Chain A
Amino acid sequence: MQEGITPASKPGLKPKALPQSGAKGFNLHVNDKWYALAFLGPSLLILGVFVFYPMLRTLYLSLFLTDNVGRPTVFIGLQNYVNLLTSSAYQASLQATAVYVIGVVAFTLILGLLLAQMAVRKLAGIQWFRTIFSATMGVSVSVAAIFWLFIFSPSVGLFDQIGNLLHLPLVQWLTTPGPAMIAVIISTVWMNLGFTFLILFGALQMVPQPLYEAAAIEGASPSYQFFHVTIPMISPTLFFTSTVTLIGAFKSFGLIDLMTAGGPNNATNLMVYQVYRDAFLNGNYGLASAESVILAVIIALFTLLQFKFLEKRVTY
């Protein structure tokens, strides 16, 4: 016992030891900075070359007229922005983007949740469906575009074949403005579903079973359970998927390019596609840069809004 007491009765040793370790700590601290820099260096370099520099360069270019290979020629200030925001074609592009993004986000979330809800049930063979539902994650945009082109192709495509059986009028899916927008939304939602399904399915599986059992005993119907147990429980995940889907939808390019190329009559000419056209088809790099900046600002704004509003509802 006595031996046990002695070390504790010599607290005088401790304060002496402290400054030493403090000094050592300071040295280490300086070293730490170099270590940190050494580890961060490679990624900082890559980010700098491929992200930060292009971002600044885009901002810079948006204030100029350029030649057809992208060298700035005449400084025009904010004229590119003024031209864009007063152009009816650009406003139409903004509008098309709005319709597209809302459609894609809404249907991706609703359908993804529906599939996930179906797949959490413990039924025989359900794992096959889980695989199938998440399979679009492994499909490349070009492949998807080609087979959706087949499905939407007039008269021989699947949709028109079904329409024909039901004696509905033939729809020229990809060459009529309204249906073309619907077609690209359907294709994008389909492409998104794999990822959204997988994430939401994971979230649903994490909801503890006793919560449903307690709710059932307390008198909650299945739909009441869905809206008052399931949705709040997975709301953090819903928030995440909605943000990711929203950003992704703003940035859609591949499917649009391969299916409609912005047409018909610019009906599916989304903002990103307009950037591509102005820069690489029309050689108007200054204008395209201004468009990119506007797109970036809009995405940042929406993401911020989503954080502000949805985070309040993300309840735990």
Chain B
Amino acid sequence: MSIELKALGKEYTAGNWVLENVSAHIESGEFFAIVGPSGCGKSTLLRMIAGLIPISAGELQIDDQVATNLPPKDRKLTMVFQSYALFPFLSVTDNVAFGLKARKFPADEVKERVEKAINLVNLDEFKDRKPRDLSGGQRQRVALARAIASDAKVCLMDEPLSNLDAQLRIKMRTELRNLQQELGLTVIYVTHDQVEAMTMADHIMVLHNHEIQQIGTPLDIYNRPANTFVASFFGTPRMNLLPARVEADRELLLANTLKLGIQQPLPVAEYVVGIRPNALRILPQGTGEPNAQVRTVEYLGSEIILEAELADGTPIELVAAAQEIYNVGDWLSIAIDGQAYIFDHDGQAQFMVEGGLNHARGDHAGVQAGA
């Protein structure tokens, strides 16, 4: 069951579009994540696909058939809600059987499907309990079992893991992904958590400002972000976005401090250069001119996140090895040692520079620090 979104749009009041021109093709059996910050319209989009709210513009196709105006029950899909939406007065078994009974499946088929679904999510010993006697993770499984038991091959999930504690969430990620693969489900998964999207999805749609920012595989999105929003949204710690201007023929000056050589000449203009913290290297003390001052130090055990300020005051995040010792106020010498992304003034990606580039010359750092 593939799903086709053709220029979908949603307006609540005339002319006030909360989503515009959303197009995507979701393959059968694919795990498709919709990611974005809160308020970007990702849940709205999911509810439009589910048929819970009307579609204002565009066309929705499910399995090559137009479904734009079909009622929810005729769209052949199921949904797992953030709140799980379990019926508190029904046992686990009856909750899972709810849809099958509503659709008037024969009793023995209901029983068979329900038992299979409950078994798949490992809830056999809890099948007679009411939702209130289950833990958050178990409720989550009941909601999953209900989706599995229905004959729909498309499952919509609206932040299904966000009510779980951190450890369980990580465990459920893997379980959910395995279950999806095992059953060949097509999953459309809404989340605000970029890590969830990265770890689970085959394709990710990034939504922001009422529109699609980028659609691609997790690798694509991470390695070739289409704009500064996508670039800074994916990856922890976040990518540093530094203002840059053309300095010489094939050279950019970042935040008036760091120099970046480029393979091709650029027209003179303002640019933004994105560098992930792990693409920045802190040079051993005494080997380079100091160009950044430490502002905060976060020990994470395996590594240290440093927030520093470049000579001209631009903040920059760095990752350092855990065995080093840094203090607030220390001067560091940092160099670019990996990929750098060149975006134009509007934040649209231009090209990428592969690492191993020289840090700023001492005279620049000195001049700017004095200014």
Check B87 against A219 for contact (C-beta < 8 Å): no
Q: A219-B73, A219-B99, A316-B130 are in contact. Are A214 and B89 (CB under 8 A)?
A: no
B87: chain A residues at CB < 8 Å are 211, 229, 232-233
Question: In the docked arrangement, what's the CA distance between A221 and B103, Å?
Answer: 9
Q: A229-B87, A232-B89, A235-B89 are in contact. Are A216 and B72 (CB under 8 A)?
A: yes
Q: A211-B87, A316-B89, A316-B130 are in contact. Are A217 and B77 (CB under 8 A)?
A: yes
Among B51, B72, B75, B146, max chain A CB count under 10 A is at B72
Q: Nearest CB to that of A232 among chain B residues?
A: B89
B89: chain A residues at CB < 8 Å are 232-233, 235, 315-316
Output the least CB separation between B235 and chain A (Å). Answer: 32
Q: Which of B98-114 contact A (CB under 8 A)?
A: 98-99, 102-103
Among A215, A219, A229, A315, max chain B CB count under 10 A is at A219
B140 at the interface (CB under 8 A from A): no
Question: In the docked arrangement, what's the CA distance between A161 and B78, Å?
Answer: 55
Check B85 against A213 for contact (C-beta < 8 Å): yes
A220 at the interface (CB under 8 A from B): yes
Check A211 against B73 for contact (C-beta < 8 Å): no
B78: chain A residues at CB < 8 Å are 217-218
B52: chain A residues at CB < 8 Å are 213, 216-217
Question: In the docked arrangement, what's the CA distance between A143 and B133, Å?
Answer: 51
Check A218 against B150 for contact (C-beta < 8 Å): yes
CB-contact partner of B79 in A208, A214, A316, under 8 A: A214
B83 at the interface (CB under 8 A from A): yes
A15 at the interface (CB under 8 A from B): no
B79: chain A residues at CB < 8 Å are 213-214, 217
Output the least CB separation between A292 and chain B (Å). Answer: 39
A35 at the interface (CB under 8 A from B): no
B77: chain A residues at CB < 8 Å are 217
Output the least CB separation between A173 and chain B (Å). Answer: 43
A210 at the interface (CB under 8 A from B): yes
CB-contact partner of A220 in B50, B75, B99, B146, under 8 A: B99
Question: In the docked arrangement, what's the CA distance between A5 and B17, Å?
Answer: 62
Check A214 against B85 for contact (C-beta < 8 Å): yes
Q: A217-B78, A218-B99, A219-B103 are in contact. Are A210 and B85 (CB under 8 A)?
A: yes
A218: chain B residues at CB < 8 Å are 73, 78, 98-99, 102-103, 146, 150
Among A210, A217, A224, max chain B CB count under 10 A is at A217
Question: In the docked arrangement, what's the CA distance between A282 and B72, Å?
Answer: 67
B250 at the interface (CB under 8 A from A): no
B229 at the interface (CB under 8 A from A): no
Question: In the docked arrangement, what's the CA distance between A213 and B103, Å?
Answer: 15
A71 at the interface (CB under 8 A from B): no
Check B83 against A216 for contact (C-beta < 8 Å): no
Output the least CB separation between B341 and chain A (Å). Answer: 40
Output the least CB separation between B295 and chain A (Å). Answer: 30
Q: Nearest CB to that of B149 among chain A residues?
A: A218
- Give the A-B pair count, Cβ closer than 8 A: 70
CB-contact partner of A316 in B50, B51, B71, B88, under 8 A: B88
B345 at the interface (CB under 8 A from A): no
Question: In the docked arrangement, what's the CA distance between A191 and B120, Å?
Answer: 54
Question: In the docked arrangement, what's the CA distance between A68 and B98, Å?
Answer: 66
Q: A220-B73, A316-B130 are in contact. Are A215 and B102 (CB under 8 A)?
A: yes
A57 at the interface (CB under 8 A from B): no
Question: In the docked arrangement, what's the CA distance between A217 and B71, Å?
Answer: 8
Output the least CB separation between B258 and chain A (Å). Answer: 44
Output the least CB separation between B145 and chain A (Å). Answer: 13
B81: chain A residues at CB < 8 Å are 210, 213-214
Output the least CB separation between A182 and chain B (Å). Answer: 36
Question: In the docked arrangement, what's the CA distance between A211 and B98, Å?
Answer: 11
A224: chain B residues at CB < 8 Å are 102
B25 at the interface (CB under 8 A from A): no
CB-contact partner of A210 in B71, B75, B83, under 8 A: B83
Check B73 against A208 for contact (C-beta < 8 Å): no
Question: In the docked arrangement, what's the CA distance between A217 and B244, Å?
Answer: 51
Check B88 against A215 for contact (C-beta < 8 Å): no
A228 at the interface (CB under 8 A from B): yes
Question: In the docked arrangement, what's the CA distance between A211 and B87, Å?
Answer: 7
Question: In the docked arrangement, what's the CA distance between A215 and B94, Å?
Answer: 13
A214: chain B residues at CB < 8 Å are 79, 81, 85, 146
CB-contact partner of A217 in B73, B83, B88, under 8 A: B73
B99: chain A residues at CB < 8 Å are 217-220
B361 at the interface (CB under 8 A from A): no
Q: Which of B35-82 contact A (CB under 8 A)?
A: 50-52, 71-73, 75, 77-79, 81
Q: Mark A274-316, 1 if CB is under 8 A from B, else 0.
A: 0000000000000000000000000000000000000000011
Question: In the docked arrangement, what's the CA distance between A218 and B71, Å?
Answer: 11
Q: Nearest CB to that of A235 among chain B residues?
A: B89
Question: In the docked arrangement, what's the CA distance between A274 and B73, Å?
Answer: 57
Output the least CB separation between A267 and chain B (Å). Answer: 42
Check A219 against B102 for contact (C-beta < 8 Å): yes
Output the least CB separation between B261 and chain A (Å). Answer: 53
Output the least CB separation between B107 and chain A (Å). Answer: 16
Check B72 against A217 for contact (C-beta < 8 Å): yes
B90: chain A residues at CB < 8 Å are 232, 315
B130: chain A residues at CB < 8 Å are 316
Q: A218-B99, A228-B102 are in contact. Are A211 and B85 (CB under 8 A)?
A: yes
Question: In the docked arrangement, what's the CA distance between A194 and B85, Å?
Answer: 31
Q: A213-B79, A214-B79 are in contact. Are A220 and B85 (CB under 8 A)?
A: no
A232: chain B residues at CB < 8 Å are 87, 89-90
Q: List 19 A-B contacts (CB under 8 A).
A: A208-B85, A213-B50, A213-B85, A214-B85, A214-B146, A215-B98, A215-B102, A216-B71, A217-B51, A217-B75, A218-B98, A218-B99, A218-B102, A218-B146, A218-B150, A228-B102, A229-B87, A316-B130, A316-B132
Given contacts A217-B77, A219-B99, A316-B89, 9 further A-B contacts (CB under 8 A): A210-B85, A213-B52, A213-B85, A214-B85, A214-B146, A216-B72, A217-B75, A218-B98, A218-B102
Closest 10 CB pairs of A and B: A218-B99, A315-B89, A210-B85, A214-B85, A220-B102, A316-B89, A219-B73, A219-B103, A232-B89, A316-B88
